[in-house]
Each structure stands twice: as C-alpha cells, then as structure tokens.
A = this chain, B = another copy of it.
Amino acid sequence: MPSDAYDIVALKTRLGDIRTEDNPALVRQKSRDFYWYSPTLKRQLDGVNGDIVAFPTTEEEVLRVLAICGELGVPVTPRGAGTGNYGQAMPLAGGLVLDLSGLDKVLEIAPGRVRAQAGAILADIDAACRLSGQELRLHPSTYRTASIGGFIAGGSAGVGSITWGGLRDLGNIVSLRVATMEMPPRILELTGEEVQKVAHAYGTNGIILEAEMPLAGACDWIEAIVGFDDFADATAYANALGEQDAILKKLISVIAAPVPQDYFLRHRKYLPDGTHAVLVMLAPIARTAFDDFTASRGGQMLYRSDLVPAEEAKGLPPLYELTWNHTTLRALRVDPTITYLQTLYPFPNQLALIGRIHALLGEEVPAHLEFVRFDGKITCFGLPLVRFTTEERLEEIIALHEAEGIPVFNPHRYTLEEGGMKQTDAAQLAFKREADPAGLLNPGKMIAWEDPAFDFSTRRTYLFPGLERDVTREA
C-alpha cells in the first residue's frame, strides 16, 4: 500500500493531542527491531519505514488512533521496545507505527498473578512483583529493555522455560486485553486457550493493551558456569540437570567453545580455552545438590555468583544476557559477519541429533542450546551461531537441519508462518478476519491472510508485495 494512498497530514491533524512524531530519523528508528541479526532480513528490510509514529499513553488514545487509521485506511504496526529479531515490529507497508511504550503501568499484583499494560518493561514488572515475593515465570534475555506486550506478541520462550515451558503453553498467559481494528474498534478480554489467537501473532490481528501473567515465587537466583572439555559431556550434563526435578532452576544454556571465550568478553577470565560452557541459574536452596550433581558428572565449576566477591560480580552482565538471543548479540558485536538459526531438537533424540548436526557442520555453525520443558519433557532449542558466507549456504544449512529431523524456526523470514511452523494458524487467521477486516494491522506478516493460496511445500520464500514500495522509495 503506497504511502500516497492516505493523507499523512490529515492523519496527523486528526490525531490531535495524541503525541506523534514524523521526524524521518526518529520514524526510521521506531520502524526497526533487531532484524539485522539476519543478513537476509537486513537486505530485504533495510528500507522499511513507517510514515509516522504515535505514542499513546492511555487505552482511550490507542482506540482513537485505531479508529482514525481505520477510517483513513492507514496501516498500523504495533511496537513494544523493538527487541524482536524477526522484523516483527517493522511496518512493511509503511503507515503508522503504534509505539505502546507509554502504556507502561503495572496495574495489579495478587498472589500468583500480575496485570500490566502492554508497554511495561519486564524488569520493571518484576521489580514491582518482588515486593510481594513473586516474579515472572518467563522472560527473554532482553528482560531489561523488552515490554511484556512485545514478548507476548513476538516472543515464544526464554529464561524460565526450563521450568515452565513456553508462552504457547496453556497457562503461561492468563489473559489479554486486546483492541481490534473493527469500525469502531472494540476491546476484548481473552482468557485460557483464546489468548493463543493473538499471542505470537506479531500484532497482525489485534493490539495487546494489557496482559495478565502467572507468577512464581521470587528467587535470588545463583548464576553458575560449568565447564566441560567434551561437548557431548556438556550436553548430556545439561539434559540430565534439566531432568533433576528437585533442583529448581531458571536457565540451562550450553554454548560450545570457542563462542564463550571469543564473545563473552567480561566473563573471559572464567572461561579456559577450549572449554564448553553450561550456564545455569539455580535456586539458592539447590546449591549443595547442584554441587554434588555437577561433581558426579565431571563438570568444572568455572564461575559462581555466590562465591565471587560482590564487587567482582557487579562488573559482569547478568548471566541471562549471555544466553538466548543475547548469545548472538554478543557474537555480532565482536564479529558482524555472524548470524544464527533457531531450531528445536525433538525429544527423545535431542542428544543424538545435536551430536550429528554439529559433527556435520563443524566450526561453521557453533552450537548454542537452550534447554526447556516442552510438552512435559526436557529437551532443547538450538540457537546455533552461523559463520555467514552466502544466503545460499545459509539455506543449505537450514535444509541440512531439516533433513536430520530438526525443525528450523527460520529467523531469516519476516512472516509468522516461515518463521514458525510453516503452516497456517487457523485460530489466528480466523481472529484476523474478525478483528482486522480491512487488513490494516501489521501488513505482510501473515501469509495466510496476504496470499491464502501460498504453497509452503515448495520451500519458496514468500515476498510481501507491499515491500516494493519501500525498496523503491529508499533506492
């Protein structure tokens, strides 16, 4: 949809006292996320820009923005803190970027649950919850900057998934308050299974206004790094630690040498050359059990936040900022040619699959595993680094994974389907038909809406026609 199909000046006037911004540099900044992790997305999306950014601070303002954009036919792409890696928050068809960071209130904390506005930062929510002895079950590695709404709309799992599974698991999102883009916009409260209509839908079928999340007991997590000379020993240890039901933990990550040594700069002194690292966040009560378990498996205790002087620990980033997508980020800071994949090693063959794929791909694809509970069992996601050469080779690497039976959630695609399970999510599509009949919400991200005849089996990459606009304009 070309930007001249609607009148930005008229839009701005209609928005009245709602804060907006059309300074090109600022609009450009607010039209971006961490899509540049992917050289493919960087090539495809570098020219993507909205026309204007709105900064509502109340639900009423959000509804007004939606009503006005609906009337004028202006696409609306919602955005939290822009910490996604799949271009989730990038306005492929231009239009209005709906920055929800002004809706940042923690509304209610009760035993077992918190209710917050979509733009509230995860660390801020947790700080508020800690006063009641509680904390969020799950958060991404971007905990200190990401919003709860963005995590739900564009994320899937993270720190805490080793105990609680992922956001897709029934019960990890209690309820969502959502605005539709009907005429006029409506507000819906979704609970139970219904939340999955809009969770991980990139804001294509509703604007998350508030989220109610379950809480766990607060814990003063101990950070540990355990070293192994042999990579298979490291993965077997991590898997077995995951299966220790009585050792409460929030994180188990495995990162193959030389990634920790090369890219975890501030932790370097704890990381002997050639040692594969298992990063663990564990409950203080499990300390002795963890020590004994680790010793029995031949793990070397390389770092422990409870054993180093407080001053020393203070100079380090939180351990979770070495994990999940932050592993890639730290590698990229040192070596900008690096990219990554997101994969799943299905239970019960996870250890064998990991061994096989990394034997096959060697130094080109250093291993990075995040252990999680998945359908009641312990297994792991992969976020391997990729020493990027060409997009063709990247596709080969993906195909090699899939040939081994390792599903890839391709982070080099900006659509829900290609970045996910490569199939239509019928519930999300049906809800989009109802909640966004004009197709104005985050256009280009849901293939099932844009091109219902698209055949996923061809392995052809979907290209959103609206993208042409920006590429042309930027050229």
* Chain A interfacial positions (CB closer than 8 Å to B): 111-113, 133-134, 137, 163-165, 169-172, 174-175, 191-193, 214-217, 219-220, 242-248, 283-286, 288-293, 296, 348, 373-378
Given contacts A216-B217, A377-B377, contact A169 B288 (CB under 8 A): no
Partner of A192, one of B191, B220, B291: B291
Contacts of A292 in B (CB 8 A): 170, 192-193
A168 (CB) vs chain B CBs: closest residue? B246
Instruction: Flag if A285 contacts B170 (CB, 8 Å).
Output: no
- Report Cα–Cα, A168/B296, bound state, in Å: 16
Instruction: Flag if A373 contacts B169 (CB, 8 Å).
Output: no
- Report Cα–Cα, A142/B378, bound state, in Å: 31
Instruction: Flag if B171 contacts A376 (CB, 8 Å).
Output: no
Instruction: Flag if A220 contacts B285 (CB, 8 Å).
Output: no
Contacts of A216 in B (CB 8 A): 217
Give 23 CB contacts A-B under 8 Å: A112-B284, A113-B285, A133-B217, A165-B245, A169-B244, A170-B244, A171-B246, A171-B248, A171-B286, A171-B289, A174-B288, A175-B288, A192-B288, A192-B292, A193-B293, A214-B285, A214-B286, A215-B285, A217-B217, A243-B376, A245-B373, A245-B374, A376-B378
Instruction: Flag if A244 contacts B111 (CB, 8 Å).
Output: no
Partner of A214, one of B112, B137, B192, B248: B248
Instruction: Flag if B284 contacts A245 (CB, 8 Å).
Output: no
Instruction: Flag if A165 contacts B246 (CB, 8 Å).
Output: yes
* Residue with the greatest number of chain B CB neighbours at <10 A, chosen from A164, A245, A296: A245
Closest CB-CB distance, A365 to chain B, in whole Å?
A: 27
Closest CB-CB distance, A191 to chain B, in whole Å?
A: 5
Contacts of A191 in B (CB 8 A): 288
Closest CB-CB distance, A298 to chain B, in whole Å?
A: 15
Contacts of A377 in B (CB 8 A): 243, 376-378
Contacts of A137 in B (CB 8 A): 246
- Report Cα–Cα, A243/B374, bound state, in Å: 8
Closest CB-CB distance, A215 to chain B, in whole Å?
A: 8
- Report Cα–Cα, A216/B285, bound state, in Å: 11
Given contacts A112-B285, A283-B112, A285-B113, contact A170 B291 (CB under 8 A): no
A135 (CB) vs chain B CBs: closest residue? B217
Instruction: Flag if A112 contacts B171 (CB, 8 Å).
Output: no
A161 (CB) vs chain B CBs: closest residue? B245
A169 (CB) vs chain B CBs: closest residue? B246
Contacts of A291 in B (CB 8 A): 192
A290 (CB) vs chain B CBs: closest residue? B171
Given contacts A214-B285, A217-B216, contact A375 B192 (CB under 8 A): no
A348 (CB) vs chain B CBs: closest residue? B348
Instruction: Flag if B245 contacts A164 (CB, 8 Å).
Output: yes
A377 (CB) vs chain B CBs: closest residue? B377
Pick the 8 closest A-B CB pairs, nearest first. Answer: A243-B376, A165-B245, A217-B217, A171-B246, A171-B289, A169-B246, A112-B285, A192-B292
Instruction: Flag if B245 contacts A285 (CB, 8 Å).
Output: no
Instruction: Flag if B171 contacts A243 (CB, 8 Å).
Output: no
Given contacts A217-B217, A220-B111, contact A169 B376 (CB under 8 A): no
A347 (CB) vs chain B CBs: closest residue? B377
Contacts of A245 in B (CB 8 A): 163-165, 169, 373-376
Instruction: Flag if B376 contacts A244 (CB, 8 Å).
Output: yes
Contacts of A112 in B (CB 8 A): 219, 283-285
* Residue with the greatest number of chain B CB neighbours at <10 A, chosen from A170, A242, A248: A170
Contacts of A175 in B (CB 8 A): 288
Contacts of A214 in B (CB 8 A): 246, 248, 283, 285-286
Contacts of A113 in B (CB 8 A): 285
- Report Cα–Cα, A374/B290, bound state, in Å: 18
Instruction: Flag if A375 contacts B111 (CB, 8 Å).
Output: no
A288 (CB) vs chain B CBs: closest residue? B192
Instruction: Flag if B285 contacts A247 (CB, 8 Å).
Output: no
* Residue with the greatest number of chain B CB neighbours at <10 A, chosen from A192, A290, A292: A192
Instruction: Flag if B378 contacts A172 (CB, 8 Å).
Output: no
Instruction: Flag if B246 contacts A164 (CB, 8 Å).
Output: yes
Closest CB-CB distance, A73 to chain B, in whole Å?
A: 36
Instruction: Flag if A171 contacts B373 (CB, 8 Å).
Output: no
Contacts of A242 in B (CB 8 A): 376
Contacts of A286 in B (CB 8 A): 171, 214
- Report Cα–Cα, A172/B285, bound state, in Å: 10
